[in-house]
Amino acid sequence: MYHLETERLKLRPLTHDDADFIVELVNDPDWLRFIGDKNVHNRDDAIRYLDNGPLTMYRRYGLGLFAAEQKSDGRLLGMCGLLRRDGLAHADIGFAFLPVARGQGYALEAAKAVLDHAREVLKLDTVLAITTLNNELSIKLLRKLGLVDAGELKLPGGEELLKLFEIRWAT
């Protein structure tokens, strides 16, 4: 896995050492509202989540969610990266940040670095994104990143209608 840097952030693979941060992030009310309950309530649940999600994705696809760490003090602020999901033809970008980090441009900074990495290093020609229909802040950020509306869909096994975005680069 790769490590990325921006002006203010270090983006690195998640590890079991991040379990307490994961408990905090995935229980944030906005995470629960827009992403859903991952049934992570303690450190053991977080390690299971990491093992079955990000760590498996790293091994299987060579990509995944990065921990977004503030350079100035090492504080974990959120996560951002690429995922491979059933029902999507291409990798999709995902991001989530703690309330203390919102509204300061961290998600935009991290997502730009991830998209640059996708295009320049991973040589992807398309990246997708999905969000709930009412997640206006994520929709605004995706559009600012250059992703365009690409319709709506339900993921396999899912009941919720989601908004689909995409960005394509010339190859």
* pLDDT tens string 54-111: 999 999 998 999 999 999 999 999 999 999 999 999 999 999 999 999 999 999 999 9
Count how many Cα atoms sit within 13 Å of the Cα of residue 120 in the half-sphere of its side chain: 8
Tell me which DSSP letter residue 101 carries. Answer: G
Q: What is the mean pLDDT of residues 155-165?
A: 93
Band of the pLDDT at 47, cuts 50, 70, 90?
very high
pLDDT at residue 1 in the model: 62
pLDDT at residue 171 in the model: 64
Q: How far is the C-alpha of 130 from the C-alpha of 153, rounded, in Å?
A: 9
For residue 122, CA distances in Å to 25, 40, 109, 149 come to 27, 31, 19, 23
* Contact by Cβ (8 Å): 124, 91: yes
Residue 152: closest CA among 134, 126, 127: 134
Residue 80: closest CA among 46, 45, 116: 116
Q: Token digits for 42?
A: 């303690």
Count how many Cα atoms sit within 13 Å of the Cα of residue 116 in the half-sphere of its side chain: 12
pLDDT at residue 2 in the model: 73
* pLDDT tens string 113-138: 999 999 999 999 999 999 999 999 99
Band of the pLDDT at 26, cuts 50, 70, 90?
very high
Residue 76: closest CA among 4, 168, 14, 141: 14
The β-bridge relationship of strands 9-13 and 148-153 is unpaired
Domain count, the chain: 1
Is the pLDDT at 170 greater than 90, yes or no?
Answer: no
pLDDT at residue 72 in the model: 96
Range of the domain at 21: 4-168
The β-bridge relationship of strands 162-168 and 148-153 is antiparallel
* CATH number assigned to the domain comprising residue 132: 3.40.630.30
* pLDDT tens string 136-149: 999 999 999 999 99
Band of the pLDDT at 27, cuts 50, 70, 90?
very high
